[in-house]
Amino acid sequence: MGVRRATVDDAAAIERIRVETWRATYRGLLPDGLIDQLQPNVERRRERLRMAGPSELVFVAQEGADVVGYAFAGPERARDPEYAGEVYAIYVLPAAQGKGHGRALIRECARALASRGLTSMLIWVLRENQIGRGFYERLGGTAVREKQLEEFPGAEEHVEVGYGWKDTRGLVA
């Protein structure tokens, strides 16, 4: 088990994980039409990995030779005055959950953000996602913000909860 920086060669694995985890996590929480239309877009992911700027952090978690999770992080996107860093996305395959991969990914994101001077962090989770919320709470995150889910047409009635860490030193230790 380990975490490393993602490369362009990880695009297919990241896309497989994205689709599989979304189908498992959000079925019944978000509209079925949104879940059913999910498809891997490996070329788009390759391009995004290739074009990632220096402030964009992408990590993958491995179990043996297999990539089983990923996380994207960087500066907080809405210029929140209290939280400088943000984990934009974190997903671990359902079969690989409960083995420490998510914790390792969060720790690596917090470490990399802190090395850039971003020692506070925010992460958003669907309010109904009790598994995700419990995970962030066990890691010491506190529910500090709410906003409407805007990224997905047809899901505007859903709310995301922002979990914050004012000081990520505890995550990195």
What is the reported pLDDT for 44?
Answer: 96
- Could you give the maximum distance between any two Cα atoms of the chain, in Å? 42
For position 154, what pLDDT does the model report? 63
Quick one: pLDDT at residue 157? 78
How many CB atoms sit inside 10 A of residue 77's CB? Answer: 10
pLDDT digit string (tens) for the chain, length 173 residues: 799 999 999 999 999 999 999 999 988 888 888 888 899 999 999 999 999 988 999 999 999 999 999 999 999 999 999 999 999 999 999 999 999 999 999 999 999 999 999 999 999 999 999 999 999 999 999 999 999 887 666 666 789 999 999 999 988 87
CB 82 within 8 A of CB 164: yes
Provide the whole-model pTM.
0.93
Answer left, alpha or beta for residue 161, where phi above 0 means left and psi between -120 and 50 means alpha: beta
pLDDT in tens, 127-149: 999 999 999 999 999 999 999 88
Residues 106 and 85: beta-carbon distance below 8 Å: no
Amino acid 99: pLDDT: 96
Rounded distance between C-alpha atoms, residue 3 and residue 151, angstroms = 28
Among 155, 67, 150, 167, smallest CA distance to 113 is for 167
**pLDDT at residue number 152:** 64
DSSP of 115-160: HTT---EEEEEETT-HHHHHHHHHTT-EEEEEEE--SSTT-TT-EE
Domains of the chain: 2-172 (3.40.630.30)
pLDDT at position 149: 80
Locate 71 and state its tokens: 């996380």
Q: Which runs of consecutive H residues, i.e. helices, occur in 30-146?
A: 32-36, 42-50, 101-115, 130-138
Half-sphere exposure at residue 172, Cβ-oriented, CA atoms within 13 angstroms: 15
